[in-house]
Structure 1
Amino acid sequence: MKEPRKNIDVNTIGVLNILEALKECRSEASFVHIGTTTQYGSLIYEPADENHPEFPADIYSANKVVGEK
């Protein structure tokens, strides 16, 4: 990855900024977070669901996991 800090800023800090803005505005808007299948790494079972353990395959996937939490 050429720019790991930028990846963290977008996929982790960016999500936090959006959620804080929604909270401050008391918005009725919904927030949909899009993840990636690589957050799960090698699947233990298929199809994977929201209860499947996450084993991020790379830094991008790890940042998506953090942003989702």
Structure 2
Amino acid sequence: MELVDVSQVSAALFITGAIFIMLIFGLLSFGILRMFQLKYRAGTYSFIGAVVSAVAFGIILNTWFV
């Protein structure tokens, strides 16, 4: 097993990734919680928000960092 060199990762990329990962998985977990609470509309909106956030993350990565 070797060490991975992450010195080429910019601070902007790291912060953008961290924010979007917390946003996407936060919305997913909130959606699952709402589904268990039988609040299907709020859960569905959370899942839709997670999908929209993931698409926005992909667009931002493709536009700014590639």
Could you tell me the TM-score, scaled by structure 2's length?
A: 0.40
TM-score by length of 1: 0.39
Instruction: Give the structure with the larger helix fraction.
Output: 2
Q: Max radius of gyration: which structure?
A: 2
